[in-house]
Structure 1
C-alpha cells in the first residue's frame, strides 16, 4: 500500500486525462470534472448507494475487501452517513488484491439482489483474515444470504459491468490504490480521519455550489 497522497482527478472527457488542483481558486471552479465523467462516477444504476439517495453531495469510495485501510474506514463512513443527512455514498468495488478480492466483490454486488448489501459489506470489512471464497461464503451464510442464489447471481452481466467500469474509471483518473474517496472535483487516497473526511465533503459542497 502506498503512502497517502492527494490524487489528481481527470478533467477531460473520458479517454484522456489531465491534472486537477486539490482546491479551486477563489469562487471560480478550476478544471471542473466533466459532467459525463461525474455521471458515470456518481450515477451508475448498478453501484450500491447508502445514505440519502437524494442527497445534495455524493461521496464515491473505491475499495477492496482485502485492503486493510478500507476496513479501517468503515466506521468513519458510517459516522458520516449518520451525521450528514444530505450525504449520498456510492460504493465502487475495485478488486485490486487478487482472485479472492474479485470473488468477494462479485458476492457483495450479488447480495444487493437479496437486500443484504450493507449487512454483507460491513461483516466482510470486519473480518480478521483474507477474503477468499471460503471466508466470503461463510460470511454470506452468517448474514442470511441464499448461497445457491448468490453464486448464480455473481455471474450476472451487470456485475461484470460494475467491476469493468471501476477499473476503467480508476485507470482514467490515474487512481493509485484503495481506499480512494472522491467528492466534487477532488479525490483523496488512503486512511482519513473523520475530520478530514468532513472537510473533503464540505469543500465539495462549496465547489459545486459555486
Structure 2
C-alpha cells in the first residue's frame, strides 16, 4: 500500500469517527459557572501571538477556545466548531489556548505544540481527539502518540521538540492567562471578546453569526 492510499484511508476513518460526535456532546459536562465578560486585563490575555490558529489570520471574527485536549466536552465541541470554520472559510478563525486541568493534558498539549513544527497541527489535533477515549486515563497517553503517528508525525522528533524551552513558555503563558481571564471549566469560548454565556454548539454558532453580521455592516 503506497503512502497516498494510506493517507486517504486514514482521512476517511477520521471523518467517519467524527460523524457520530454529536453523541459525545450529550454526555459532556458544561463549565461549572457562566463565564463573565473579561476585564480589560483579561481581554488582553485572550489571544497571544504564539497560539495555534485555524482559519485566516485576519478574519473579522475570532473564536477563542480555552481548550484541554483531555476534556471530553472539548472533544464533543470539535466537530461543530470545525463546521463553523468550514461554513465561513474567509471570515472566522479559531484561536486555541491550552488549559491543563485534566490528566494527560500537559503531555498532549506538548505533543500538539511539537506537531506545529512539522506543520501537522490540524491533522494531529483531530487524530488525538478521536483517540481520546483510549488515552485520557493513561498517564503515558500512549494512544495519543499512536494517533499522532498514524497521520504522519515523526514521533522521535516530536518527543524532542515537546520539551523545548519555547514550548515551556507557551504552556506557562497560557496557564497564567487562564488565571487572568478566570477560566474555571473547559471548553470556554469567547467570540470577538464576548463570552459564550449559554453552553452548547448552537449558542456558539448564533454568537458567531451575530458577530459576523456586525462585521458586515
Following TM superposition, by how much is the alpha carbon of 1:162 offset from its aligned partner in structure 2, in angstroms?
A: 1.6
The residue that corresponds to 2:193 in the other structure is 185
Instruction: Give the RMSD, CA atoms, in angstroms.
Output: 2.3
The residue that corresponds to 1:173 in the other structure is 181
Map residues 1-210 of structure 1 onto 2, 5 A cutoff.
Answer: 1=29, 3=31, 5-13=33-41, 33=43, 37=44, 40-42=45-47, 44-84=48-88, 85-98=90-103, 100-127=104-131, 128-131=133-136, 132-188=140-196, 192-193=200-201, 195-205=202-212
Q: How many corresponding residue pairs? A: 184
Instruction: Kindly indicate whether the alpha-carbon contact (under 8 Å) linking 1:60 and 1:89 is maintained by their aligned counterparts in 2.
Output: yes
Q: 2:152 & 2:116 partners in 1: Cα distance?
A: 13
Q: Which runs of 5+ in 1 are unaligned?
A: 15-32
Taking structure 2 as the reference length, the TM-score comes to 0.76
Following TM superposition, by how much is the alpha carbon of 1:209 offset from its aligned partner in structure 2, in angstroms?
A: 8.3
Taking structure 1 as the reference length, the TM-score comes to 0.78
Q: 2:198 & 2:86 partners in 1: Cα distance?
A: 22
- Closer, same or farther: CA 160–45 of 1 in aligned 2, 3 Å: same
